[in-house]
Structure 1
Amino acid sequence: MEVEELRSSKSERYSKELDVAVRVVQMACSLCQKVQKHLISESNDQVKSKDDNSLVTIADWSVQATVSWMLLEIFGSENVSIVAEEDIQTLTKADSVGILETVVKTVNDCLVDAPKFGLTVPAMALGTKEVLEAINRCNSAGGPSGRHWVLDPVDGTLGFVRGDQYAVALALIEDGEVALGVLGCPNYPMNKEWLEYHHCYYRIMSKLSSPTSESWDKGCVMYARKGSGEALMEPLVRENSSLDLSNLARTIRVSSIDDPALATFCEPVENSNSSHSFTAGLAHSLGLRNQPLRVYSMVKYGAIARGDAEIFMKFAKAGYKEKIWDHAAGVLIVQEAGGVVTDAGGCPLDFSQGIYLEGLNLGIIACSDVKLHQKIIRALNASWGSSNL
């Protein structure tokens, strides 16, 4: 069965949107791989700090411009509302002229490769004004009505800068419900066994392998449509490769493990917006014996969706507000793969209230199994009073 047939096997609704989204994310991942390779191999100033001290890179702006331009070109500007993380404030400062020039070049270099992903090349190269406009168009506030594309161009920027895990996340929300989600994970190998190897090692092995060999494929794209009851995964389009992805897309499912002693749980790498100490105490009370898998970005949702881990717990510190682009795509993929995602009170996440997950109760719990999820909720209720969060 070909990729497009797999993507529409359960329902024709959103089939075009999902097909376009997967192609666009594939292209964005290719862009990110090239930028990350440059960041790792050379000393440069392509990383900036925003006003909130978070990091932003050439890839963040370039992916946002590329995805924005493609969605508007395919669906028409009157039909496209985009909610995305980046704006042009930092990029248009006087000391960012060099970075802006690099972003424009990166976007155009990426768009030239569009036919490789089944997409259309612009008639002419985009100028600086057009690239800035494409980034700036992603200024929708979302909300409870209408269609809104939700983009995190590089989720896990710190992981990206360090040559570690990150993700390109694109979702479509309609009338407050996540309708489809696509998660591109350029450094997340197709098979769980390869996680044991440092990314530099399997980067070397990829070069030694035949271009048609799946043995050392690095990177994947996971995606799902609401109500389809399935999530799918395919490898990234490889550089200069004619590998037919239609033969490699496969269904992914959550793990069947329901014993906490055997379960693996994920949490954010950084402790700045999630309490490792509270999570550790909760894990101990649940009888979780395995060490936590600390992973940058929404790759954590992908790990649960395809059965590499069973639990993701995040309990934000006071004052931190979760953004919809950090969760929308991953949540839907986990749910359609058979998992459960709620806030820490057991309620569904609400994506209808703008750019933030308003009304979020305590934190977020994603789980492969309903029984495991219920055990976590009970343990949480018993220990939350001493959390100091």
Structure 2
Amino acid sequence: MAYQQERYIAELAVQRASILTQKVFFEKAKGTVSKDDKSPVTIGDFGAQALIIQAIRKNFPNDEIVAEEEASSLREDKALSAEIWRLVKDIKLEDAESDKILGGPIASEESMLDIIDEGKSAGGPKGRIWALDPIDGTKGFLRGGQYAVCLGLIVDGDVKVGAIGTPNLPVDDAAPIDASTGAQQTSTSANGVLFSAVQGEGATSRPLSNGTLAESKSISMRPVPDIAQAVFCEGVEAAHSAQGDNAAVAERLGITAPSVRLDSQAKYCSIARGAGDIYLRLPVKKDYQEKIWDHAAGDIIVREAGGQVTDIYGNRLDFSKGRTLAANKGVVAAPKALQDQVIDAVKVVLKL
């Protein structure tokens, strides 16, 4: 089976980075009153990026990486760099063999900065390119809600592997979810899920752990015989998705259940395991281009769970155009059997 090693490394790397993000939250973000204080997110972003790129470099040294952060600001802000290094240097998986596979501890602060800077690939249609979002859903992270550590492997423009760590999603697939899920988290709560998929192999979920990978199970979207019974997932932030248009699409489809609002690619994960059915990210600004790291892993996890992921015109997302989805507008994800109905409603509401 192709890409099993890539999936394994991606899952372990995301799991290790999730340990860091939780540590940053409990040490730095919990009790953050002001949303202007971005330092916890900055620390988590840079630290998680360093840990994941190190793992990719150790195992796939010739692959390219498209990541959100670069280290020039850290080289100027010595105090922030030192603080990130203090947290990163001690992060390890409790299973020594698993940690060794990822490269073990990063050698030094300077090495950490160099590793962070290795995510500058321009992307494109050829070769093996990892798309990394170390903390997707920054406001969710700060409030103790939903965020995700996301890693996808794109080969010749096509997503082949995806892994997403969601430290605040409930382990129980059937647990009801809403925007406050995980908000009262403790480090011992029954939350934390690691999702993954390989093209043609299906999608899985397993509890996040601090050591070896926990046992996995296959996941799939739930059957929705009547579209009026479907549940929408959408973003919490109005700036990210046109919530009024989303509501109009729901009304057109006869959907009356309130939409579930979650930050981050946790939305892709939720519909992939049947804790929701339809994810809409309708364009807010005409010229906005979605970033590939915001969608690569979620795209393959939903498609391997029996769903379809397209833009508002019904075209598959095109990951071959560089660092953005330049050829697409918006995102619509739904069970395959419902996708055409959802797209038709979107086209009417947006007057396409």
- Aligned residue pairs total 349
Secondary structure at 1:308 match in 2:
coil
Contact 2:91 2:105 in 1 (8 A): no
Counterpart amino acid of 1:294? R
User: What one-letter code is carried by the residue in structure 1 that aligns with 2:205?
Assistant: M
- What's the Cα RMSD here? 2.5
- Identical aligned pairs, as a percentage? 35
2:148 aligned with 1:176: no
1:69 aligns with: 54
- The Cα of 1:109 is off from its aligned counterpart by 1.1
Deviations along 1:181-224, whole A, 9 cap, x unmatched?
00110000111326378525563xx74xxxxxxxx631110101
C-alpha distance in structure 2 between counterparts of 1:173 and 1:307, whole Å: 25
* Distance (whole Å) between structure 2 residues aligned to residue 166 and residue 153 of structure 1: 10
Q: Structure 2 length as normaliser, TM-score?
A: 0.91
The amino acid across from 2:43 in the alignment is: I
1:60 aligns with 2:26: no
Distance 1:198 1:125, change over 3 A: closer
Tell me whether 1:224 sits opposite 2:224 in the alignment: no
Instruction: Please state how far the C-alpha of 1:280 moved relative to its aligned partner.
Output: 1.0
* Structure 2 unaligned blocks of 5 or more: none
Counterpart position of 2:232: 265
Paired letter, 1:348:
R
Deviations 1:115-137 (A, max 9, x none): 27443475775222211100001
Question: 1:342·1:365 contact (CA, 8 Å) conserved in 2?
Answer: yes
TM-score (norm 1): 0.83
Q: Which runs of 5+ in 1 are unaligned?
A: 1-11, 208-215
* Matches of 2:204 and 2:109, distance apart in 1: 37
1:88 aligns with 2:71: yes
Alignment match, 2:344: 378
Tell me which residue corresponds to 1:135. 116
Task: Judge conservation of contact 1:47–1:57 (CA < 8 Å) in 2.
Answer: no
- Rounded Cα–Cα distance in structure 1 between residues aligned with 2:104 and 2:252: 60
Cα shift readout 1:231-280 (whole Å, capped 9, x = no counterpart): 11110114xxx8x755x310101010142221100111111132111111
Secondary structure of 1:168 counterpart: strand
Partner of 1:8: none
Q: 1:1-389 alignment to 2 at 5 Å? A: 12-41=1-30, 56-76=41-61, 79-93=62-76, 96-111=77-92, 115=96, 117-120=98-101, 126-191=107-172, 192-193=174-175, 195=177, 198-199=181-182, 201=184, 203=186, 207=188, 217-228=190-201, 230-238=202-210, 246=214, 248-317=215-284, 318-361=286-329, 363-370=330-337, 372-385=338-351
- Indicate conservation of the 8 Å contact 2:252/2:345, yes or no: yes
**8 Å contact kept, 1:312–1:366:** yes
**Structure 1 contact 101–128 (Cα < 8 Å) conserved:** yes
CA gap 1:116/1:277 in 2 versus in 1, 3 angstroms: farther
Q: CA deviation at 1:105?
A: 1.7
User: Considering only CA atoms, is the larger Rg found in Structure 1 or Structure 2?
Assistant: 1
- Secondary structure of 2:9 counterpart: helix
